[in-house]
Structures are given as structure tokens and as C-alpha cells.
Chains A and B, each alone.
Chain A
């Protein structure tokens, strides 16, 4: 029963992966990738790693893929033509993927050469418990956890700084927009939203 379930999930994951690579439409690719992520998270569940499964869904399928879809839609990049200078990519990908496959086949099932942390299947099972992880996060690793929050604040401030125009710059942009509107359609002043005063060029 379990093995049937595993093969079914694995097949879905593979279909997702292959579909992602083969589809010409970027949106379809992204959606296939979501399918692959969902199937992988089911595999994690079967391996008794519920936390990893949930993280896989929230972080990858949730946050990152939604961002991908947003970018694709905003840039209108559904149909990306295959550029000539990217011709070598499939070959390189095949070689590297092949190497990874060989490496996996060779290493899986072998004992670890070094195991200083003393990892056993039992400790791994323990770690899969969200409660154990949370305890580590709020005791020994409290400081890294808090510094990460500081890092996120910095990233947020930085993103605002880089994307929001400065007051002076905004004035310039409005002026340009105003000039465009006047040039493009005379008498369309009713459409303008900005009050007249701000559009007056500063001497």
C-alpha cells in the first residue's frame, strides 16, 4: 500500500519536473514546478518529516512561486523565445545532471565517512518534530533568529529606498508626465490628477 502511494507521488513529481522543463509557456512551467513541489512535500510527509513538508509548501510553493508568477505576469514574459546564445545550455545541463545522478547513485546507501555529530536515524526522527526544532530556535539559536529579523528589516528598508522615488525626483517625474500629457492631447487637462501648483517648474 505504502509503496503504491510512493510510486504514484514520485510519478507526479517527475511529470511536474519534466513538464516544467519542456513547456514553452513560462506560466505553464511555473505551474508544473508548483506541482513538483507539492508532490515532493508529500514525499517528505511519507518520510516522517512533517515540518519539512509544511516548509516546502509555504516557502517554495507559496512564497517563491507566487513571486515568480508575479514577475512573469508583470514583465509579460509568458513566451520567452529561445535565444541563440543559450543553445549550449541544454547540453551543459545534461552533463551536470548526469554527474549529479552518478554521484547520488554512488553515495546513497554508503555509511558517512565522518559522523562527528553522531547522527542516527533516531536523532533525525527527533529533529523532525517541530517542537524540538522550536526549542533549539528559542534557546541556543535565539540570537541568530533575532539577527535574522534585523536582516529582514534592513532588506525591507533597502527595498523601499531603492524603489521609492525621492521627493525631488518625484517632482521631476510629475513634470515630465505633465509635459507628455500636454503634448499628447491638448485640452486633456481634466484627466490630470496632480494639482497645478506642484507642476510648475522650479526655476
Chain B
């Protein structure tokens, strides 16, 4: 029996991160409460090491385990996005948990396992690996959503997320089975080869498999009409988990979708771009319109995250290199901005007094000028105002759509961005133009972790927004290289 060349290089980041998660479980077992204070920093260290290991493999392009995983530049960019989301969420978590008597070391281990899932989704080149990656991303998230047990809202959210998530996974598995039936393989490259055959292209099995795979991942990234779970789960989950989920689950889901569509199904791009355009339009319209009516900030950010999934879908639907680069840049910008917005919410909350009502932000600028300023930066970035990361991301995906000639989609996307300004800027107006109804003095929780996270988020949002033209070219080029490794025919 010949053993294949496993080539662990291709698995380095995921391997480090999963071992680090197990290390955290062991450290807790050995040292117990003495080390609790340092656990969040240990977790951050793990994420930094993983990110560094991934970046050190830039341009290496390793393939391992009989083509199950491939570590190309695309996977590395997604890894970096996952690391940023993970680091910010962990920094925001520690004091939040201690304040609410929720602290348990397993929290950080579960979070690292979940991020390992994103890494596998980013580098999996086999449908089986992508399915396992999705489950590794989701199962810890179900548990973390219910982490505020016995809080009823948190329990309900976890149950809802678990049941609907399991349903979505079953769609995905069915899609994988149909695709296997049509093409005889789960390896994305072999699927691509099988699709050279006209009989396979026109088979209902292929089409059914493609649609079901789209449904499975559409649920994870909260695309309309598979978004029903989002507001309730976002509201019920502990806020740091909501923050992580809004970026992490999206990054993983979109990475897998990009790889499947571009590597396995380019032959039938005309089928899936049409489906993605419809999904994107529905997502943009529903997400933005429902966000307007919200009075709870968490729900507002939930609908806003649906809307932003729509903008990323615009990049996917474009089906060109610029679209892939745009989707990745958008995810990066969204990671800083959205985690920052949730960070402000965490800083202003304490046990039993969550700063969830939008009205409660009235007059924040006179009490907490710096927090109000940071929140303004995040809101402007979410809207897509110049000098913020959000605008650069939007320009990226919109120009990709223009390049692909998707004018209807482009018009809808621009119009809904205008609508979104209404609900994002309403919060800014409230913070600066109204008299305070809340005395925030006693409940501000600016611990070192939260401080660091907020500073990083502001710096990231602004830096990605004001990078001068040649730097944009640079990002464009690196992301283009990324895209080429994704799209390029292998070997």
C-alpha cells in the first residue's frame, strides 16, 4: 500500500490553530482559575501565530492530502480576514464574559475551533472538506450562541440557529450528493473536468446540485430568502459572538462559494451568475428596507449584515477577477467596521443594561466624545462615505458589476446604499444633535481589551479608506494575484 504525499505545509495555519484550541483546553485543565485572566491574551497570541504562519507562505501554493486542501494566496487572504475578526472578537469578549458571570475557558477554545472551520473552508478543494469546514465553523457557533444560558433569549437563539443550520447543512449535503452523481467526484478540479461533457452540463443532476449547494451556503452568509434566522440569533447571542458571527460565518461561507463557483463550475457560469444576481437583488432590498424600521441596535446591525452580504454577492455575481478581489476587500473592510460597531455597544453595556436601544445613544457625544467619534467612523464606513474602508469596498464591487455589464444589479445596489445612509446616519444625528437621556458615566467599560479592539478597528477602517491611489493599485494587484491563483488552472 502506497501512502500519498500528505504535505502538511498546505495545512499549516489550520493545524496550528486547532492545536492551539486544544492547548487552551489543556491549560485550563492544568492551571485552572490562576490563569483565567491571561486566557484571552493566549488566544490572541494563537491567532497572531496562525496569521503569521499563513503570511509566511504567501505565493508558495501548497497542495496536500491528495488535493483535499490547497493553500494559495486566496486562502491566505481569507485566513487574515478570519484572524482579524477572531482577534477583535476575543479582545471584546473577555471582560464582557467576566462582567456577566459567563466566563468559561471553553469559550475561547470553541472560538478557535470555529475559526479553524473558516480556514478549512478557505483552503478546501474537495466538497467533503468544504462540508466538514462548514460544520466545524457552525457547531461551535451554535454552542457559543447559547453561551448566556440560562438566559431565555440566548437559549432560544441557539435552538433556532441549530435547527435551521442543520436543515441548511442537509441541503448542502444533498447538493454534494447530486453533484457527485452527475460528475463522479467531489474534487473540485475533477468536477470541472467532468463538466467538459455536454451531457453532464445539461443534466438536471448538475443543476440541482448547484442550486442546493447555493442554498446551503446562502443560509450561512444570511442571503435573502435564507435570512430568517439572522435577527433573532444575532439578538439572542452574547454580543461578542454576534460580532464574530457577522464577519466570520460570512467570510467562511463566501470563501467556499467563491472557490466552488470559480474552480468547479466555471463552465456553467451563465447558470449561477443569474441565480446570484437574483439573490443579491433580494438581499440588498430586503436587508436595507427592514433595517430602517429597527429600534434595537443589534437587530439593526443584523439587517445591515444581511444588506452587506448583498453587496458581497454583487462581487460574486460579477463573475470576474475584480469581483473576487472586491468581495475579499469588502469582507476585510467589513471585519474592521462591523466588529468596531459591536465593540462600541459592548463598551457602553454592562450586566442587565445592554446598550441595545438606538434611542439610548442620544447625546453620546457630550458624555463620551471619543466613543461617539469612533461610532461615527464605523457608521460612515458602513454607509460608504469617502475616506472610509466601506467606500473603497463598494467601489470595488460596483466597478466589478459594471465591468460585467450587470446594470440592473448595479442600479439596485447604488439605490439601496442611499437608503442605508438613512438608518446609519440617524444614529450619528442622535449622538450629536440630541440631549443625552442616559448618563453613560457609570456604565462605560473601557478595559484594556476593549480599548485595544476599538483602536484597531478605527485604525483599520480609516487606513483602508484613505490609502492613496498607488496603495489601492497595490491591493488591487495582490488581490488580483490572489484571484489568479484561485481561477488559474492548476499544475
Q: Using CB atoms and an 8 Å cutoff, list the residues of chain A in contact with chain B.
A: 113-118, 135, 139-144, 147-148, 150-151, 153-155, 157-158, 160-162, 166, 168-169
Does B116 make an interface contact (CB < 8 A)? yes
Does B147 make an interface contact (CB < 8 A)? yes
Chain A residues with Cβ under 8 A from B200's Cβ? 114, 116
A114 engages B11 (CB within 8 Å)? no
A155 engages B185 (CB within 8 Å)? no
Given the known interface contacts A140-B4, A147-B129, the answer about A114 and B66 at a Cβ–Cβ threshold of 8 Å is no
Chain B residues with Cβ under 8 A from A154's Cβ? 110, 113, 136, 139-140
Q: Give Cα A148 to B136, complex, Å.
A: 9
A117 engages B185 (CB within 8 Å)? yes
Chain B residues with Cβ under 8 A from A161's Cβ? 104, 106, 110, 143, 147
Q: Count the B residues whose beta carbon is within 8 Å of the partner chain — how many?
A: 51
Nearest residue (CB) in B for A119 is B184
Instruction: Determine which of A118, A141, A158, A160 lies in contact with B142 in the assembled complex, contact meaning CB atoms within 8 Å.
Output: A158
Does B102 make an interface contact (CB < 8 A)? yes
- Closest CB in chain B relative to A146 CB, distance in Å: 9
Q: Give Cα A158 to B140, complex, Å.
A: 7
Instruction: Determine which of A116, A139, A166 lies in contact with B1 in the assembled complex, contact meaning CB atoms within 8 Å.
Output: A139
6 smallest CB-CB distances across A and B, nearest first, come from: A116-B184, A117-B184, A158-B143, A143-B65, A140-B66, A143-B68
A150 engages B113 (CB within 8 Å)? yes
Chain A residues with Cβ under 8 A from B109's Cβ? 157
Instruction: Determine which of B1, B68, B135, B183 lies in contact with A135 in the assembled complex, contact meaning CB atoms within 8 Å.
Output: B1
Instruction: Determine which of B22, B135, B143, B180 lies in contact with A162 in the assembled complex, contact meaning CB atoms within 8 Å.
Output: B143
Q: Is the interface of A mostly helix, strand, loop or mixed?
A: helix
- Closest CB in chain A relative to B255 CB, distance in Å: 16
Chain B residues with Cβ under 8 A from A147's Cβ? 120, 129, 132-133, 136
Q: Give Cα A117 to B129, complex, Å.
A: 20
- Closest CB in chain A relative to B114 CB, distance in Å: 8
Given the known interface contacts A116-B183, A117-B184, A150-B116, the answer about A158 and B65 at a Cβ–Cβ threshold of 8 Å is no
Q: Give Cα A161 to B110, complex, Å.
A: 10
B184 engages A118 (CB within 8 Å)? yes
Q: Give Cα A117 to B184, complex, Å.
A: 4
Q: Give Cα A117 to B190, complex, Å.
A: 11
* Residue among A143, A144, A157, A162 facing the most chain B CB atoms (10 A cut-off): A143
Chain B residues with Cβ under 8 A from A155's Cβ? 139
Instruction: Determine which of A141, A142, A144, A153 lies in contact with B6 in the assembled complex, contact meaning CB atoms within 8 Å.
Output: A142
Chain A residues with Cβ under 8 A from B101's Cβ? 166, 168-169
A150 engages B18 (CB within 8 Å)? yes
8 CB contacts below 8 A, A to B, read: A117-B180, A144-B129, A147-B132, A147-B133, A153-B22, A157-B25, A161-B110, A169-B101
Given the known interface contacts A139-B3, A160-B106, A162-B143, the answer about A151 and B132 at a Cβ–Cβ threshold of 8 Å is yes
